[in-house]
Structure 1
Amino acid sequence: MSVTAPNFYRRPLPQLCVPFASDEGKKMFTEALLEGNANIYFKLACQFTTQDEPAYCGPSSLVMCLNALEVDPGRVWKSPWRFYHESMLDCCVPMESIKKVGLNIFQMRCLANCNRLECKLEIAEESEKSQLSFRKDVIESVRSEVQIVVVGYNRSTLGQSGTGHFSPLGAYHTATDSVLILDVARFKYPPHWVPLSLLHKAMCTLDSSTSKNRGHLVLSLRADTRPLVVFGLRTTIACNDAHFAESVVNWREFLREPPMPDPTDEWVVVCRRFLQCFSGHALSCKGVEVCCKNGNQESDDMVECSLKICREIRQTTAAQLTMSSAVAALMMAYPYEPDFSTRSENLREYSEAWMKGVSGDTQNEILVLREQLTTMIECTKPPLKILDL
């Protein structure tokens, strides 16, 4: 006997929410528009996206923002068009993991930074100061055409079904102190107005994956930057990945050891140990050294950029000793904590000094890679608690 799974055609909005297409919703939008508090709406409306998967609210919100801010992804979506799609957000967290459990707000920040967005993150707190800061960011965003607020909140606080969710905000209505949520789960709820104070309350809810409250992101295009074009982390690394966590633990334990007296011997030992820990996690776009000579870039300037990055990474001591530019790039990008240990401090100072002497493209590559590493280390923190024993 076959059993038919329950299915739904949308959900009715609770009374706390005003449907955008209702008479009241239209009136609120007209007033917001006349106040100058809906400028960003038109940019977002042109790229309004419905999430492809039930857990894709984060990637879909980012894709909507990236396309609204006219960010060139630097790679083809469907030939010949370069255009952002959820499947292209393949850094920081594996797509298979996102499909199962979604994203948290720190992973959202990592994905935003990986894709050339300036990202301000604020965790919501149950205080007037936090609510005032949120309102200020919202008003600045809706009055602009270059800045977007994405909120992470708990749906149940709004009387909706479900829990954690991300969506961009498109407008602000002064008289009712309400914001317009452009809900990317359009199969479930239409765009709707909610009181800002209630939305802030929904942001002041605990996300069990981070043990912190939810919050909001302020996104804008980071000028004169590129996405990662040569190096990266393997996309198979998952949140709380045991193998990656073990690599980080072993590397940190090694960093705590005193350095060798001879600088040459120290470099050999450091590079050998980093190679042992991270060679399985390092990735280059095409093989180990040829990176960008196979015609896989979309323009001559991107090819030149890639060649320049490869050239400058190959010149590092780390690349010469590990025989791997991908591993060397990870070593330069590793987020060495200030005053963690003498060995760690030496590597941090070396990395900072080296960064000052390379091109802006290489600096961008390393900084974006560092953001990826930092986020993945954050994601593997539970297994790393043994370090505090």
Structure 2
Amino acid sequence: MVRSSTSAVRTMPRYSLIRAARSANPLAWLAACVVATLAACAPVPPAGNQAADQTSHQASLQVPASAASAAARPAAGPLPVPPNLIALTQPAGQKRLMASAHNQSYWPLSEYFETQRNEAYCSVATSVMALNALGIHRPESTQYPDFPYFSQEDFFRSIDPQVANAAQVSKEGMTLDQLGAALSTFPVEVRKFHAGDLTLGQFRDLIRDTTGRSDRFALLNFRRAEIGEAGGGHWSPLAAYDAASDSALLLDVARYKYPAVWVPVTQLYAGAQAVDSVSGLSRGIVIVGTRAN
């Protein structure tokens, strides 16, 4: 069977498409580069529904002009941090962490920091960080046979495939409700909050109260565009809250793309209120913690 030219273009690898566009038209080449650069942890829909594919991709690639212009990759390293955010590696970022009264989540989370193993595994990397940091009983590990450990490789081993499975998540990521259900498989207490059901004050209280403890963690589902970054939907844990600046520390699991940054809570709230194109609901926070005896 001979495919149409449109179908062939859709199936071309991203960088093959860029090379083809460059040879055909300089403007098309530039547009293809922008699309490739903005690829993030946003879910990639199944190939069976092309209309849904276009809708989801368009939603995930909607970024402010400031974010798009900031997406020029330096010679080496991740994308530049937007001016409204403060990287933890900067002196001001480190000072903010040390001065914060709500930084107890940072220490155990940083000990088990993970980089997502593919561009759709942000929810998985965020989850295993939290599970290991909680200090609960750990399962046998395929990756480390002599040491029990929660790993991205084994995350779905005990999860009902109807809830989530590795093949699906590696293409689409996970929604707020889906991750909440997946984490309920483990011996932890799970609470999920859609940001659309929370006021800004309630959202802030959840972050402040959780980051002030080391026995529970706030896993944030948000859209990058609202905090000035390039990309779409994403998951990462929140590790600290600073009252003076009303900002929270986001430990970005896409470390190849952005470092850990302090983000104004108002912008995190806007990012969490963004509608997930898969569920049709707002994003939000999953709180995972140890179970009471």
Q: Taking structure 2 as the reference length, what is the TM-score of the superposition?
A: 0.70
Do 2:132 and 2:138's aligned partners in 1 also have CA atoms closer than 8 Å? Answer: no
Per the TM alignment, residue 147 of structure 1 is displaced from its structure 2 partner at its CA by: 1.0
Cα displacement (A) at 1:223: 5.0
Q: Measure how far apart 1:25 and its partner are.
A: 0.8
Highest CA radius of gyration, 1 or 2?
1
One of 142, 145, 151 as aligned partner of 1:85: 151
User: Contact 1:89/1:111 (CA < 8 Å) preserved in 2?
Assistant: no
Q: Residue 166 of structure 2 aligns with which residue?
A: 95
Cα deviation, 1:27-64, whole Å, max 9, x if unaligned, reads: 211211xx2x1011101010011111110000000000
Q: CA deviation at 1:222?
A: 2.5
SS of residue matched to 1:156: helix
Residue 268 of structure 2: aligned partner: 199
Q: Any residues of structure 2 matched to 1:1-389 within 5 Å, and which? A: 9-32=77-100, 35=101, 37-77=102-142, 78-90=144-156, 91=159, 92-125=163-196, 130-222=199-291
Please give the per-residue CA displacement for 1:307-352, whole angstroms capped at 9, x wherever unaligned.
Answer: xxxxxxxxxxxxxxxxxxxxxxxxxxxxxxxxxxxxxxxxxxxxxx
- Following TM superposition, by how much is the alpha carbon of 1:75 offset from its aligned partner in structure 2, in angstroms? 2.5
Q: What amino acid is the match of 1:83?
A: Y
More helix as a share of residues: 1
In 2, Cα distance between equivalents of 1:105 and 1:86: 18
Gaps of 5+ in 2: 1-14, 20-35, 38-72
Q: Conserved in 1, the CA contact under 8 Å of 2:247 and 2:264? A: yes
Paired with 1:47 and 1:220, the residues of 2 have a C-alpha distance of: 15
CA distance in 2, matches of 1:116, 1:210: 26
Q: What CA RMSD, in Å, does the superposition of the two structures yield over aligned residues?
A: 1.9
Where in structure 1 are there 5+ consecutive unaligned residues? Answer: 225-389
Pairwise CA distance, 1:159: 1.2
Q: Which amino acid aligns with 1:114?
A: T
Displacement of 1:145 in angstroms is 1.1
Deviation sequence 1:188-235 (CA, Å, 0-9, x none): 0000001001100111111011110001011102356xxxxxxxxxxx
How many matched pairs?
218
Deviation by residue 1:279-329 (Cα, 9 ceiling, x = unmatched): xxxxxxxxxxxxxxxxxxxxxxxxxxxxxxxxxxxxxxxxxxxxxxxxxxx
Residues in 2 aligned to 1:198 and 1:41: alpha-carbon distance in whole angstroms: 20
Distance 1:76 1:223 in 2: 26
**Identity in percent:** 26
